[in-house]
Structure 1
Amino acid sequence: MNRKQRTLKLGTLAATIVALSAVATPAVASADTTTAIASSTVHVTVNAAAELGIVPNTALGVNTAVWDGHLLDAAIPSLLRGIGVTMLRYPGGSTSDEYNWQTNTVTGGYADPNNTFDNFMGVVQKAGAQPIITVNAGTGTPSEAAAWVQDANVTHHYGVKYWEIGNEMYGSWEAGNFANNPSGYAKEAVSFIQAMKAVDPSIKIGVDLIAPGTGEDDWNATVLSTMHSLGVLPDFAIVHWYAQNPGGETDAGLLSSTNQISTMMDTLKQQLSSYGTIPVFVTETNSVSYNPGRQSTSLVNALFLDDDMADWLESGAQNVDWWDLHNGIVTQQAGANVDPNLYGQYNYGDYGLLSNGSSDNGISEPAANTPFPTYYGYQMLAAVMVPGATMIGAGSNNDLVAVHATKLPNGAVDVMLINKDPKQAYTVDLQAEGFAAKGPAFTLFYGQGSNAVTPGKLDNLQNVTLPPYSVTDIIIPAVPGHQPQGPQFTDKTTLSTPQVKPSANETLTTTFTDTRGAVKDGTLDVEIYNPAGQLVGQQVQSGVTFTPGQSSQPITWNWTAPDSPGTYTVKAFVFSQDGTSVYAADPSAATFTVTQPDPPTISATVQLSATTVKVGTPVTITTTYTETAPTGYLNNGLLVQYAVYNNWTSSQQSNPTATLTPGQSVTETWTFTPEQAGTYTFPEGIFTSGWTQLQWINQNVTLTVTN
């Protein structure tokens, strides 16, 4: 019997999948695996009528560097095209502030003699990307930067549109920095901008700001106000974000850290709002601020990349650049955290998407250009965040399952599901709103044991399982046909309060009124979105029948505010019974603010493995911290245990990325070896991530050390 094969014609989507699944790259060693437990159900909502914004063609970037000996390798352009990179940043982080582009040299550092600007542009062009250039604001001059613009856009006609004035110029680690001098940086930036735009007025130039809550509090306000007073404003704002500090990495902490993005971005938008519309570029991000360890080369970092970059884009960032393409091996002896409690198969760290084949302390990376898991995570992200796609509302009822979705230019809906649970598999109960969730659908998968992204096909969309520690893309093809004009509705939402504290309730009441056409068995849907555009609350009433002029019974519900301050948006919808027809979509039915939480009030208990020891004898210190305030929170703070002796000479052990919610406890263990005789005490310090003291806790516990 002849069988006729059915072919789905998905236009550009098919081309995207082919490009992403057919990348010829070396395989990596299989990741660590964990023993999964029985599957549990997670409820996922994807609302194609809740449009968040368009994915720009600047969205997905990667950092490159002049010191990268493999930047010009023949395989690089295809490796970049294969994961959808659209922006390449050059000449490389802090190196930028010591780099002379004319001589291709770095003051006190190294530049590969072949990595000239022209050769870099050759990679950009072959990869089908566009560049973003960081000019030297540390040891360079405005005239030097202007000459670079002249060379790029007048002499060579490269058409370089995006430029940055220095790298992290607020940081004391940068050459020629302006630490604690934001007005000085602002004046310097204005001089650079004026010189560069005198050569090419069409270019866009960004300045260094600080991701709110991660550094000098008044930097952003002073930079912007000073530039405004001088009559020049930046074309875009630059922030960098690394989720953790070295030594305190945890897998659960990293994967939950993306909750901070919505608040950072909302605060940044408010800081910028007085000066018009200034886009945000996140030109560096990764898991740890320096000394990358075991986690950086693991599947966990790939899952973080997907959630991290998607959250920034859904929050409104126009560009997010991963740090970086190649970096190099960092072993334990060089400061890498290789704690076996961190998931992963490599006992070293490397920021790069690709290995550079380096070795140190008898440990070697795979051959150069071997993808690390983050490369495949990037590939999974790019299949969803396609330039021109519309980001749409999505969320789940489980914090360990992150959901991001877009409506692709050809009408297909692409859903990315990230399972952050190391042991629990989840079966997806998909609620599709504003589109038909019908198979067959295409899938892409990357997770434990994967050597590459695996394409597949799914006939039943109610039969999706998310394995532990995995990311799954489901590309649901558009259903052709014309949707006839249907009923229309108005809606009204009232709130109990315009501002609500974390852990407190917001009461919402929404009424819908039918203004045209009858509806039988319709669905009323009220949704709450956080500042990152994530669906975080939902109330649905189904089986509702309307006649024209009729109003619904009020939908009243209580929603408990999370510890993610910022502006929240209420959206209201009316759908047909099957969810495919959209009768009403109010993208801003109401807004309210979740305020900053109350300061933490933390108690601490200390236990010692011994109370009297001789000099040189290790002592185990176990400290349990508990948040006791009913509405107090510690976010991304520092819990520091001190061992104090001889007039405040001290040793310390800290958890540098601690988060505590009301009633939550965390226990830290530290092995301390006293080197002098005397009596030791063990107070604790509670600090913000910027080392502002929140609490000091003195203890009655002492240790006597004898010779």
Structure 2
Amino acid sequence: MQRRVLFFSSLLGLGVIGIASAAAPAHAATLTASVTVNATAGLGSVPAHGIGMNTAVYDSDMNDAAIPPLLKAAGVTAMRYPGGSYSDIYNWQTQTAAAGGYVAPNTGFSSFMATANSAGAQPIITVNYGTGTPALAAAWVHSAASAGDDVSYWEVGNEVYGNGTYGANWETDSHCHTSLNGPLVTVGSEPSQTYNCGPAEYAANVASFASAMHAADANAKVCAILTTPGFWPDNVTNSEYPQSWNHTVLTALKSGTQCVIVHYYPGGSNTAGMLTDPSDIAGIVSTLHSELSQYAGIANPASIPILVTETNSTLDLDTQPAALFAADMDMTWLENGVTSVDWWNEHNGEGTVSTVNGATDYGDQGIFSNNTNYGGTTEPVVDTPFSPYYGIEMLSKLAAPGSTMVNSSSSQALLKVHSVRDAAGNLNVLIDNEDPSNSYTVSLGYSGFSPSGTPTVYTLANNATTITSASGSATSATVAPYSLTVVHIPGAGGTGVTAPGAPGQPVASGLSSSTSGNNTGTATLTWPASVAGTYPVANYQVYSGSTLVTTTTGTSVTLTGLTIGTSYTYDVVAVDSHGNPSLPSPLVTFTVPPPANATCAVHYAQTGSWPGGFQASVTITNEAASTVNGWQLTWTWPNSGEAITQLWNGTETQSGTAVTVANASYNDTIGASGGTVNFGFTGSDSGQTPAPVAFHLNGAICSNN
């Protein structure tokens, strides 16, 4: 059996699995806190296949009769197959694995599909890139389509960047070709040849795979593998591949990028650190959107699905902290626009056994036991759920596909909160108490929502193996240490009045700006009309977060005074003639571009990177008819962790995220009508290194070149 936990602790450097133990306090205190929900500040709809699960062909329990009802009860709506690195050695037609890999009986595609269909989960399939061919992948697509198997997404390979490009070699890749130079890849026991195994080859092969797969089914969504921003080997380069994996792959695929895949094993060094890791997710998604825009030229990067097809806690694997992590992590990804988050793994096998928080942790990255005993302690009976299962099951009490996620906040950092409005207008609030010692009495406050009726409170207590329910209050809830609580609060029902339906997906168009000022950006938002409820729709309110921007009786607005280089996010709420609001529309996000007709242009290119640092080159072009005598280029870092450490061909100052680079004594002039000057620098970063969006030369906005 391949035990995924070993791959990620030893090869990816995403954190060695730690052993954490904590005894419950003898006398836990009860503190106070507050949670505020803004029910009109939408964070998007819960995706159809948002909560997913991995399966593996070496798992003899993959298709046990107990699995479909367990997955359905937990609200799992996606299943990934055929399993991590095995995907790159597995032949779906012969049901065999290269290099002596083990395939368990009754784990073929048809058996998997029977389980997925019974569970009501859509399949996500990883085709064999490592030892397969475009023809083999296309045959799979054709077979699935012919059988009526609705495969949502097809991944081209697993972690292909682990093919030796950056030194570590755990992913099989037979596409590598011999060369006189390039990264070393060990073939069998003979590390005697060097091979080109990099992002350029992968991108070219993705295009070949996609072409063949689309010929088999034009509707197939074919996804490319990217590195996760901030996690090895993101932004790692070498002499043969001076641009990062993501830079190279997206630049080659351009508009052919249909969807992208990342994996997330945050690897906190201790329990408390692990539980804070989801705070990095917003930056990861923002960086991916920046890369899709900058490298692939995608005008609306939020339109490209991002799938997190593997994730796990990496420590405290089978105990309550992992349940807390799973619930918070899944919802944080979904709130940031990710299409699917898929837990690793269905069954995996016992690892290092320890005691965590008073419970036995079997070191098993499976969500269900397989009754193994590798370390002297026998696991529970086969298919017994571990704690992460119950954390995911709690999300079925919070959100259903199509429900609207809305903004909520907590006064206490150890209380993570997520809130969802359902189609009937009811509100569900998840309170994740990550304090191992203290209970909290939490006051509940609302904006844009009126409670009506008696709430139901669902609770997963510390180390519990069942979710309980009871009547509760709409104004307060008490949450115990290391617990998950969902408060289901009926909306203003019982009045016989139906609110308008949510407006459709807004679309941004006409994005432009001018050289006359920094706040000259304009955009037009247009959205499908809301369906009237009991009363006709009177107007639409456009929100940016919790701020009401404007109100209109039509289905479009023109926004002005926008700042060049700034990203904006909006949603729309319909209000009827009696003041009843709808649920918010899905979000729309866009960035105001610099003007195309500026008198200067800037080309910014990241030319190298390494853990914690990067290198970039900047070229300024003078498009004006007169020479520039003395220059200063200014920009703002998108990520607060970015900073220049050493610069050549200029001098720099930085205050916070604001950067100014001035000429050196020998390059103070830029010739007219196309003259250029170049400078470069090394920088430090905290994980993500998105490119600046807007540059100003001597105070004047430049276009991006």
Under a length normalisation based on structure 1, what TM-score does the superposition of the two structures give? 0.63
Percent identity, please: 39
Residue 582 of structure 1 and its aligned partner are, at CA, apart by 9.1
Q: Tell me, in whole angstroms, the C-alpha distance in 2 between the residues paired with 1:117 and 1:585.
A: 38
1:321 equivalenced with 2:334 (yes/no): no
Q: Tell me, in whole angstroms, the C-alpha distance in 2 between the residues paired with 1:396 and 1:568.
A: 24
Q: Tell me, in whole angstroms, the C-alpha distance in 1 between the residues paired with 2:96 and 2:373.
A: 25
Partner of residue 126 from structure 2, selected from 126, 131, 134: 134
Residue 383 of structure 1 and its aligned partner are, at CA, apart by 2.2
1:468 equivalenced with 2:484 (yes/no): no
The equivalent of 1:264 in structure 2 is 284
1:250 equivalenced with 2:273 (yes/no): no
Q: Tell me, in whole angstroms, the C-alpha distance in 2 between the residues paired with 1:326 and 1:121.
A: 17
Aligned amino acid, residue 413 of structure 1: L
1:148–1:39 CA distance, 2 compared to 1 (3 A): same
Partner of residue 287 from structure 1, selected from 296, 306, 313: 313
The equivalent of 1:234 in structure 2 is 257
Superimposed CA distance per residue, residues 442-490 of structure 1 (whole angstroms, 9 cap, x where no aligned partner): 12111214221112221x22231111111101111122234899xxxxx
CA contact (8 A) 1:436 1:580 kept: no
The equivalent of 1:302 in structure 2 is 323
Superimposed CA distance per residue, residues 193-248 of structure 1 (whole angstroms, 9 cap, x where no aligned partner): 111111111111111011211123121121011123xxx6132111111110xxx6
1:216 equivalenced with 2:234 (yes/no): yes
Q: Tell me, in whole angstroms, the C-alpha distance in 1 between the residues paired with 2:351 and 2:152.
A: 34
Structure 1 stretches of at least 4 aligned residues deviating more than 6 Å after TM superposition: 177-180, 525-528, 570-575, 579-594, 629-632, 686-690
Superimposed CA distance per residue, residues 576-618 of structure 1 (whole angstroms, 9 cap, x where no aligned partner): xxx99799999899999884335799xxxxxxxxxxxxxxxxx
The equivalent of 1:176 in structure 2 is 173
Q: Tell me, in whole angstroms, the C-alpha distance in 2 between the residues paired with 1:590 and 1:147.
A: 39
Q: Tell me, in whole angstroms, the C-alpha distance in 2 between the residues paired with 1:308 and 1:138.
A: 30
CA contact (8 A) 2:433 2:480 kept: yes
The equivalent of 2:208 in structure 1 is 191
Superimposed CA distance per residue, residues 324-378 of structure 1 (whole angstroms, 9 cap, x where no aligned partner): 111110026xxxxx4x6x5351243011111111111321100011110101001
Q: Tell me, in whole angstroms, the C-alpha distance in 2 between the residues paired with 1:165 and 1:498.
A: 42
CA contact (8 A) 1:135 1:145 kept: yes
Q: Tell me, in whole angstroms, the C-alpha distance in 2 between the residues paired with 1:226 and 1:145.
A: 21
- Calculate the aligned-residue CA RMSD, in Å: 3.8
Q: Tell me, in whole angstroms, the C-alpha distance in 2 between the residues paired with 1:585 and 1:283.
A: 27
Q: Tell me, in whole angstroms, the C-alpha distance in 2 between the residues paired with 1:433 and 1:188.
A: 51
In the TM superposition, 1:366-381 aligns within 5 A as 366-381=380-395
CA contact (8 A) 1:433 1:580 kept: no
The equivalent of 1:606 in structure 2 is none
The equivalent of 1:81 in structure 2 is 72
Q: Tell me, in whole angstroms, the C-alpha distance in 1 between the residues paired with 2:583 and 2:213.
A: 51
The equivalent of 1:311 in structure 2 is 332
Superimposed CA distance per residue, residues 614-668 of structure 1 (whole angstroms, 9 cap, x where no aligned partner): xxxxxxxxxxxxxxx9979xxxxxxxxxxxxxxxxxxxxxxxxxxxxxxxxxxxx
1:69 equivalenced with 2:83 (yes/no): no
In the TM superposition, 1:306-705 aligns within 5 A as 306-331=327-352, 338=354, 342-343=356-357, 345-458=359-472, 460-480=473-493, 481=495, 482=497, 595-597=638-640
Aligned amino acid, residue 290 of structure 2: Q
Aligned amino acid, residue 239 of structure 1: V
1:382–1:198 CA distance, 2 compared to 1 (3 A): same
Partner of residue 222 from structure 2, selected from 205, 226, 230: 205
- 2:37 counterpart SS class: strand
The equivalent of 1:150 in structure 2 is 142
Aligned amino acid, residue 208 of structure 1: I
Q: Tell me, in whole angstroms, the C-alpha distance in 2 between the residues paired with 1:132 and 1:589.
A: 27
Q: Tell me, in whole angstroms, the C-alpha distance in 2 between the residues paired with 1:322 and 1:407.
A: 25
Aligned length: 492
- 1:150 counterpart SS class: helix
CA contact (8 A) 2:312 2:344 kept: yes
1:263–1:82 CA distance, 2 compared to 1 (3 A): same
Q: Tell me, in whole angstroms, the C-alpha distance in 2 between the residues paired with 1:396 and 1:143.
A: 52
Residue 395 of structure 1 and its aligned partner are, at CA, apart by 1.1
Q: Tell me, in whole angstroms, the C-alpha distance in 2 between the residues paired with 1:584 and 1:55.
A: 13
CA contact (8 A) 1:357 1:365 kept: yes
- 1:465 counterpart SS class: strand
Q: Tell me, in whole angstroms, the C-alpha distance in 2 between the residues paired with 1:121 and 1:472.
A: 33
CA contact (8 A) 2:440 2:479 kept: yes
Q: Tell me, in whole angstroms, the C-alpha distance in 1 between the residues paired with 2:379 and 2:586.
A: 52
Q: Tell me, in whole angstroms, the C-alpha distance in 2 between the residues paired with 1:355 and 1:55.
A: 29
- 2:313 counterpart SS class: strand
Residue 387 of structure 1 and its aligned partner are, at CA, apart by 0.4
- 1:42 counterpart SS class: strand
Residue 385 of structure 1 and its aligned partner are, at CA, apart by 2.7
Residue 539 of structure 1 and its aligned partner are, at CA, apart by 10
- 2:391 counterpart SS class: helix
1:573–1:174 CA distance, 2 compared to 1 (3 A): same
Residue 425 of structure 1 and its aligned partner are, at CA, apart by 1.3
- 1:455 counterpart SS class: strand
- 2:29 counterpart SS class: strand
CA contact (8 A) 2:571 2:586 kept: yes
Q: Tell me, in whole angstroms, the C-alpha distance in 2 between the residues paired with 1:364 and 1:473.
A: 33
Aligned amino acid, residue 131 of structure 2: T
1:121 equivalenced with 2:113 (yes/no): yes
CA contact (8 A) 2:123 2:150 kept: no
Q: Tell me, in whole angstroms, the C-alpha distance in 2 between the residues paired with 1:580 and 1:38.
A: 41
1:69–1:364 CA distance, 2 compared to 1 (3 A): same
Aligned amino acid, residue 216 of structure 1: D
1:526–1:361 CA distance, 2 compared to 1 (3 A): same
1:453–1:118 CA distance, 2 compared to 1 (3 A): same
Residue 184 of structure 1 and its aligned partner are, at CA, apart by 0.8
Partner of residue 105 from structure 1, selected from 76, 85, 96: 96
Residue 109 of structure 1 and its aligned partner are, at CA, apart by 1.4
Q: Tell me, in whole angstroms, the C-alpha distance in 2 between the residues paired with 1:474 and 1:73.
A: 33
Q: Tell me, in whole angstroms, the C-alpha distance in 1 between the residues paired with 2:489 and 2:283.
A: 31
- 1:409 counterpart SS class: coil
Residue 411 of structure 1 and its aligned partner are, at CA, apart by 1.7
CA contact (8 A) 1:423 1:468 kept: yes
- 1:253 counterpart SS class: helix
1:484–1:308 CA distance, 2 compared to 1 (3 A): closer
Structure 1 or 2: larger strand share?
1
Q: Tell me, in whole angstroms, the C-alpha distance in 2 between the residues paired with 1:175 and 1:188.
A: 15
- 2:312 counterpart SS class: strand
- 1:37 counterpart SS class: coil
CA contact (8 A) 1:420 1:469 kept: yes
Aligned amino acid, residue 327 of structure 1: N
